[in-house]
Chain A
Amino acid sequence: MTESKNDGSDWIQTWIEQQREQLRRAGMPGAGAASAAGAAGVSDQYRDLGMRWLEAGQAYMQGWQQFAQRSAGGTAAGETPLKFGEEMLNAWQGSWAGAASAGEGATRQFADLISRLPAVGLAREQTEAWRELLAAQSEYQHLEQELRTVWARVQTDALAMLEAAIRERRQSQGDAALGIGDYRELYNLWVECGEKVFAQLAHSESYCKLQAQLGNAAIRLKVRQQAVLERALKQFDLPTRSELNTVHKQMRELRERIATLEAQLAAARGEERS
């Protein structure tokens, strides 16, 4: 077991706060789904590009400011270009931030538009298949994010329960006590609290429903993926799962018929003998 000095420095509370901070970061709305969501990904790239331009702009403004200071030969004269530079920088930053959000909005609008347009023309069937796939993916991601949020809440509640448990221990052991002897003990207590919180949630109707909804959404997504894939396989004259299923079903039916015929034959032979 890990030993630690019981010198009153509250490393336990520090650990709990660190976990909380990590959860806060992980629990930011959309943080978990950002990489998966196309629109969010685009907007991240856009923002990144903006930041690079901003850095370049800052360097340029600093250079210009230094030049102005040297030219004016004093601080007072330098204030004007500095202020001017700041304003420019703010405007620059603002325009990129606006452009980023506009880009994000445009992407979302475009995706929304595509999803509402009726499929027409030569590629109607393909378009519809892809549109259904995108809708299924969007539904799945939405529910996945919802479940992630619930799990994050389990961890937050587990930390609160852990804190309460430690407080209780301290009270029973005396004011100077830390309540926990070492890291391993803290970890085990955290696991215990986590399981308690999760067990309570896991049995609730709302959680059972949410988990099943996510599972059902995953199934719908898989069905849509299969439809798109099978369409592609057919283009190359490759066998699909659907075709194999038909063959297996036929084999099973034939096998059952043979078994029935064999039983009838055996019964008939028995009758002949008797």
Chain B
Amino acid sequence: MNEFSPGSAELAAVTNDFMRRMSQGLAALANAGDVTIGSSAKDAVFTEDKVTLYRYRPSEVVAPENRVRTPLLISYALVNRPYMMDLQTDRSLIRGLLQRGVDVYLIDWGYPDGADRYLALEDYVLRYLPHCVDFVRQASGLDRINLLGVCQGGSMSLCYAALHPQRLRNLITMVTPVDFHTPENLLAKWAKHVDVDALVAASGNVSGDALNALFVSLMPFRLNSQKYVDLLHQLNDPNTSGAALENFLRMEKWIFDSPDQAGEMFRQFLTLFVQQNRLKNGTLQVGGRPVDLQQITMPLLNIYALQDHLVPPSSSKPLGELTGSTDYSTHEFQGGHIGIYVSGTAQRQIPDRIAGWLRERDAER
């Protein structure tokens, strides 16, 4: 935009004004410091390889009689970091659950490196996840616990629940893809013709940076440009608080803090789940054991976001018809894949819905 044709003085004026605002925004941005992540106190209670299981310290303001007795284990996706569940004080699903008396455990899958390239689906579904479940069962003295799977972590939780239904009291899936071949599923369409075997053979682990580029390219105009222009404009607004800038920077940190994906696990997930849709078709096997969603007979709450561009609702909804649970509920959230954790509406709705649903089923023991 450096050249202006004769007679475009007006354009030059508005451009200059626009650029002036951008420059002022940049100056404000330069003064922003580092951001802190996470708000609730937690302790590492179990580790295996690079996997760490955390237990969040219960909220002291909840009376013992108001606590949900069965602990909740959260299995996050391998893509991105689980601190999204507890990003900051006023944007934290975990804090919301703690305040409602839920005993929360969270699995952090860690950052796989070159030595982990042969970690496979069975390592996650038949080793790490079961070991975490068993730890929580042992620590709580309960045979069955509650499991909440998020996104890809939800798909893995469904596999685990189908293989070990006797170890779970209740299952919750959040923005979890089940049917990968619905018309709205853009990621699956893009993955359709990719030679995944060759990709993993050549790359080993799949880089988190490459995945970031992929996710950003789903909405290139908005995610590469508009959101930053919006930010710089907001910074010129005297009503914009420093907290808003911190929120933005915290989200940026989370979005681009993407672990590399263990090669074999990525290959299996993309081939078996995304390209071949085996979870939905009932032809998936983990470590030679068939995954039959009809074996999921425990109460099941399926939460999905109506404006989710990564896991469209059409991908999550079919779970109701595939599961063997006779106590199946859904919760539709008006928002997107990220908004379901961090938006103001989410802070009011989601912890309430989860804690309430768990409490109802906790009392039935």
Contacts and interface: CB of A to CB of B under 8 A. Distances in A.
Interface of A: 1-5, 7, 9, 11, 14-15, 17-18, 158, 182-184, 187-188, 190-191, 194-195, 198, 202-203, 208-209, 211-213, 215-216, 219-220, 222-223, 226, 241, 244-245, 248-249, 252
Contacts of B1: 18
A99 to B, nearest CB: 33
A230 to B, nearest CB: 12
A183 to B, nearest CB: 4
A211 B195 CA distance: 12
A183 B9 contact: no
B63 to A, nearest CB: 43
A11 B10 CA distance: 6
B277 to A, nearest CB: 16
A223 B186 CA distance: 27
A11 B11 contact: yes
B67 interface: no
B194 A183 contact: no
A5 B190 contact: no
Contact of A18 (B5, B10, B13, B229): B5
B222 A195 contact: yes
A20 B351 CA distance: 49
Nearest to A241: B204
Interface stretch (B113-121, B289-297, B334-342): B113-121
B30 interface: no
A188 B11 CA distance: 16
Contacts of A248: 114-115, 117-118
Contacts of B202: 219-220, 222-223, 226
B186 A202 contact: yes
B17 interface: yes
A215 B14 contact: no
B240 to A, nearest CB: 14
Interface of B: 1, 3-5, 7-11, 13-15, 17-18, 21, 114-115, 117-118, 183, 186, 189-195, 198-199, 201-204, 218-222, 225-226, 229, 233
Contacts of A158: 221
A191 B203 contact: no
Contact of A191 (B7, B9, B194, B225): B225
Most buried by A among B11, B115, B198: B11
B169 to A, nearest CB: 27
A219 B192 contact: no
Contacts of A213: 193
12 contacts: A4-B10, A5-B10, A7-B10, A9-B7, A187-B226, A191-B226, A195-B219, A195-B221, A208-B190, A216-B193, A219-B203, A220-B198
Contact of B220 (A2, A198, A222, A241): A198
Contacts of A182: 14
Contacts of B11: 11, 14-15, 18
